[in-house]
Amino acid sequence: MIPNRCFGSLLLVLIGMFSNVLGAFIGVNIGTDVSSMPSASDVVSIIRTHQITHVRLYDANSHLLKALAGSGIEVIVGVTNEEVQGIGQSASTAAAWVNKNVASYVPATNITAIAVGSEVLSSVPQVAPVLVSAMNNLHKALVASDLNFHVKVSSPQSLDIIPKPFPPSTAAFNSSSNSTIYQLLQFLKNTNSYYMLNAYPYYGYTNGDGIFPIDYALFKPLPAVKQIVDPNTLFHYNSMFDAMVDATYYSMDALNFSGIPIVVTETGWPSQGGPNEPDATVENAGTFINNLVRRVSNNSGPPSRLNVPINTYIYELFNEDERPGPVSEKNWGVLSTNGTAVFPLSLSGSSQIMGNSTAVFCVAKDDASEDKLQDGLNWACGQGQANCSVIQSGQPCYLPNSIKNHASYAYNDYYQKMRSAGGTCDFDGTATITTNDPSYRSCIFMGSSNSSAGRGLFPAGEFGPVSPLGEGPKLSASKIGFLISAACLFIILL
């Protein structure tokens, strides 16, 4: 009896404790409107292969929740928009939902939050009057199950409920939503939860009538004459993403709420679009996601909240080809259903070693000038005798059609062939060694053996088991072991 009591209590205590010490994270949304959706166990295998340790489900998919058991992956489960009304009107319905979709899976499945609806205030405003009631009913059900300290309740909202997000310092929630928003924020404050924001620079740019440059939406540096500055605070915004998050913080300030952290529950960029969606490209999607990962990994907040990290969930894991709407709506995934990347992911800025692969690769540096990259590419394809046929138009590695992408393939091909004969990965300072496999779709990079290297989509530090609120020093394995032993002894003595 004591060991069982120790294990059950200790597991939830430790999950909560370590959730607050390991810094910012990036997670991934998992949608299931996929014609060739892998089995739940295969999905979890793909997630673990790429070291993704935070996921959000749009419902309480029983197959995925069962498959996630024992993985340690932190899970946000979703109440669908269709379920909000009933849960908001009936405490017993809420209790039944929690018992079925949360209590029956924890602690084996590490459920840490319930997302109530999806953009309710903007997409289904008729449900708005019962939204906070639904959140309250779910929270009370968690209290009754003694899960309220580990499982938080919130509700993802679109930036659309902030009519004028720029300049951020004057942003405010839509007056028609003020009553519900006020109640929602009061609930989050009372329960020590966090605000869930869906922020899409893609739409901010494409619907912005050319007000902002695309580089601003893609996290690319802007020249001095094009810097984006809030005229009231004089804060410089290096990305539309940061401005969107700050606009939400200032909107909360306008209602006299502070101390409620924001977690971005959705953001991304489509890799393909229709004829009227020219900015939905593989190159732009890769640029956005790569820069997003770097941005979040620096553990800082937006200008108004520099010490509050912007924990973020990428939209989304797979392309959902069965979703209705324009072509872009079906092409937000970062992975194909076989687990390969949709576009190259450059994570050389991370100091973390990932996964269990044995390959190393030679790729172009992110900050290399295009002129030098072109020189290196010409040399590799010429005197270096790299196989550059696959980066020609119509071939597997042609897209995205950028000098950096083509140079990476050519550099790596030369390096792998000539490494044993003294070939180096330098190319006049434009190349670097990485353990992250840059292969994507059918573009496969040749790799050499190195038992100390690793592989994964995301830096391990950015996907560690951390809470939406947490930042702090990392704990060593020995300290963790000591804490586990001490905590278990303490529980036994109780």
74, 83, 266, 316: the active-site residue: 266
Helix (H) or strand (E) holding 197: strand 195-198
Residue 108 Cα distances to 12, 42, 50, 74, 147, angstroms: 10, 18, 21, 11, 13
Task: Give the separation between CA 271 and CA 265, rounded to whole angstroms.
Answer: 19
Q: Is 266 a catalytic residue?
A: yes
Name which of 453, 376, 448 is nearest 419 in CA terms.
448
Task: Give the separation between CA 184 and CA 178, rounded to whole angstroms.
Answer: 10
Angle formed by the axes of helices 403-418 and 370-381, nearest 10°: 40
For residue 279, the Cα-to-chain-centroid distance in whole angstroms is 21
74, 83, 119, 462: the active-site residue: 119
Q: Is 462 a catalytic residue?
A: no
Residue type (1 letter), 473: P
DSSP labels for 352-409? ---SS--EEEEEE-TT--HHHHHHHHHHHHTTT----GGGSTTSTT--S--HHHHHHH
For residue 201, the Cα-to-chain-centroid distance in whole angstroms is 14
Q: To the nearest 10°, report the CA torsion of 106, 112, 115, 116.
A: 60
Sheet containing strand 262-267, edge to edge, reads: 152-154, 111-116, 74-79, 54-57, 26-30, 312-314, 262-267, 195-198, 157-158
Task: Give the separation between CA 335 and CA 333, rounded to whole angstroms.
Answer: 6
Write the Ramachandran bin of 219: left for phi over 0, alpha for psi from -120 to 50, otherwise beta. left
Give the other-Cβ count within 10 Å of 444's Cβ: 15
- Which residues are part of the catalytic machinery? 119, 266
